[in-house]
């Protein structure tokens, strides 16, 4: 298994992996409509948005030959912005490994106050990595509400002005 830093040219494959992960989530956590809204489509707007988010972030991709197994990135602001492991590669500690690698890189640069907007699937994984749940959250994508959890580690606190139920 190869461990590499993500570049913009890897992002279409990352998006395809995200779509696969989200499609495989159970119905009870997110409806089909919610999962479709979450995954979205890989278009020019998405490319520009993802490239901006990746720029300056610590990132990791894991691949086996040509096959992407997992990817994640952590922004300079300490947000674990992406965390996806292919359905067939889950439960082997790959998320834990990527979180540790990204946290080590961030800590070396003095960034230790971390947060994430975690899905129902990611919450126990982040709790195992030492994050605590601050509050439930709801985002609206394409008019469809999606629940997640604001989680923090290392003393990160939510700016009061940023708090919102949507
Ligand atoms: C969430 C996700 C990234 C986890 O990836 P993974 O590689 O299967 O996770 P790991 O195997 O590294 O598990 C990490 C830790 O969490 C624990 N864990 C994983 N799933 C768990 C669950 N459902 N309940 C309790 N603990 C769980 C593991 O036991 C492990 O703990 P340990 O290190 O103490 O053994 C993966 O399931 C995924 O991509 N899900 C769909 C997309 C998604 O929701 N991404 C997050 C967006 S915010």
* 2-162 CATH pick, 3.30.450.30, 3.40.50.300, 3.90.79.10, 3.40.630.30: 3.40.630.30
Of 163, 157, 106, 103, nearest to 130 by C-alpha is 103
Ligand 1 atom nearest the C-alpha of 92 is: 11
Looking at the whole model, is its pTM more than 0.85? yes
Domain regions of the chain by residue span: 2-162
Residues of the chain with pLDDT > 70, as a percent, come to 98
pLDDT at residue 49, as a whole number: 97
Please give the structure tokens belonging to residue 82. 């992406």
Taking the CA of residue 116 as reference, the ligand 1 atom at the shortest distance is 48
Q: Whose CA is nearest to atom 9 of ligand 1?
A: 95
Q: Which of 2, 22, 87, 11 is nearest to 55 (CA)?
A: 11
């Amino acid at each position: 298994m190869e461990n590499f830093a993500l570049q913009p040219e890897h992002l279409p494959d990352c998006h395809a992996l995200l779509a696969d992960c989200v499609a495989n989530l159970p119905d009870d956590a997110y409806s089909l409509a919610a999962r479709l809204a979450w995954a979205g489509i890989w278009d020019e707007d998405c490319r520009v948005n993802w490239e901006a988010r990746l720029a300056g972030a610590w990132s990791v991709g894991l691949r086996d030959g040509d096959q992407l197994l997992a990817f994640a990135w952590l922004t300079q602001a300490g947000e674990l912005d992406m965390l996806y492991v292919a359905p067939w590669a889950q439960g082997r500690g790959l998320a834990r490994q990527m979180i540790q690698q990204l946290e080590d890189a961030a800590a070396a640069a003095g960034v230790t106050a971390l947060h994430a907007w975690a899905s129902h699937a990611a919450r126990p994984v982040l709790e195992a990595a030492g994050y605590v749940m601050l509050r439930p959250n709801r985002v609206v994508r394409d008019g469809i509400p999606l629940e997640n959890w604001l989680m923090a580690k290392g003393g990160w606190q939510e700016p009061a002005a940023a708090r919102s139920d949507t």
